[in-house]
């Protein structure tokens, strides 16, 4: 009888672990999708701002540098000058 209980316990543990691992994988996929969408939209916003305000390349570089400084200060890592340029390119 104890063997049956132990086997049932092991099966229960394995089933619960599978649920947890599946949920974690789903969360990771959803986070990645949301970040990709956010980065594309950041690039779109930068490009649209450049078009609406007739911003040249030199001014664009300065704006992106300032954006990088402010976003990094207010939000944290991930908004370096090069990352913002990559987001801009990603939209194009």
Cα(91)–Cα(87) distance, integer angstroms:
6
Per-residue pLDDT reduced to its tens digit, 6-62: 878 889 999 999 999 999 999 999 999 999 999 999 999 999 999 999 999 889 999
Per-residue pLDDT, averaged over 83-88, amounts to 96
- Local confidence band at 2 (pLDDT 50, 70, 90 cut-offs): confident
- Please determine, for residue 1, whether its predicted confidence score (pLDDT) is greater than 80: no
CB-based contacts of 92: which residues, under 8 Å, 6+ apart?
A: 43, 47
- Its pTM stands at 0.77
Backbone angles phi, psi at 10, to 5 degrees: -60, -45
Distance separating alpha carbons of residues 21 and 56, to the nearest angstrom = 49
Closest CA to 65 of 39, 73, 35, 38: 73
Compute the distance between CA of residue 61 and CA of residue 69 in angstroms, rounded to an integer. 12
Model confidence over 54-83: pLDDT tens digits? 999 889 999 999 999 999 999 999 999 999
56 phi/psi in degrees, rounded to 5: -85, 175
| pLDDT at residue number 27 | 97
């Amino acid at each position: 009888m104890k063997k049956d209980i132990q086997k049932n316990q092991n099966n229960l543990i394995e089933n619960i672990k599978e649920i947890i691992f599946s949920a974690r994988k789903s969360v990771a996929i959803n986070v990645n999708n949301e970040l990709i969408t956010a980065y594309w939209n950041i690039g779109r916003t930068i490009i649209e701002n450049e078009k609406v305000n007739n911003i040249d390349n030199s001014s664009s570089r300065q704006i992106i540098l300032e954006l990088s400084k402010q976003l990094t200060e207010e939000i944290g890592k991930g908004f370096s000058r090069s990352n913002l340029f990559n987001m801009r390119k990603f939209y194009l």
